[in-house]
Amino acid sequence: MFDVNQIRKDFPMLNGKKMQGHPLIYLDNGATTLKPQVVIESVCDYLTNYSGNAHRGDYDLSHEVDEHYEQSREIVRQFINAKRKEEIVFTSGSTDSLNMIAYGYGLTHLKANDEILITVAEHASNTLPWFDVARLTGATVHYINLDETGRLTLENVQKAVTEKTKIIAVAEVTNVLGYQAPMKDICQFAHERGIVVVVDGAQSVPHQVTDVQDTDIDFLAFSGHKMCGPTGIGVMYGKYDLLKDMKPTRLGGGANSRYNSCGVVTLKDPPYRFEAGTPHIEGAIGLATAMQYLMKIGMNDIHEYEQELRQYCIQKMLQLDNVQVYNPHSMGAIAFNIKGVFSQDAASLFNSYGIAIRAGQHCAKILDEFLKVSTTLRASFYFYNTKEEIDAFIEVCKKGDDFLDAFFK
Q: How far apart are CA 289 and CA 38, in angstroms?
A: 7
**CA distances, 176 to each of 151, 366, 404 (Å):** 11, 12, 27
| Those residues with Cβ within 8 angstroms of residue 201's Cβ, 6 or more apart along the chain or in another chain | 94, 171, 172, 210, 220, 221, 222
Q: Of the candidates 148, 142, 107, which has an alpha carbon nearest to the alpha carbon of residue 122? A: 142
Strand residues in 146-216 grouped as ranges (E): 165-171, 196-200
Local structure of 33: helix, strand or coil: coil
**Alpha helices by DSSP H, 60-211:** 60-80, 94-101, 107-109, 128-137, 154-160, 183-191
CB of 116 within 8 A of CB of 128?
Answer: no
Is-catalytic flag, 228?
no
Q: How far apart are CA 32 and CA 226, in angstroms?
A: 5
How would DSSP label each residue in 57-98?
-SSHHHHHHHHHHHHHHHHHHHHHT-S-GGGEEEESSHHHHH
- In this structure, the strands spanning 256-259 and 234-238 are unpaired
Say which of 187, 228, 262, 363 is annotated catalytic.
363
Active site residues: 363
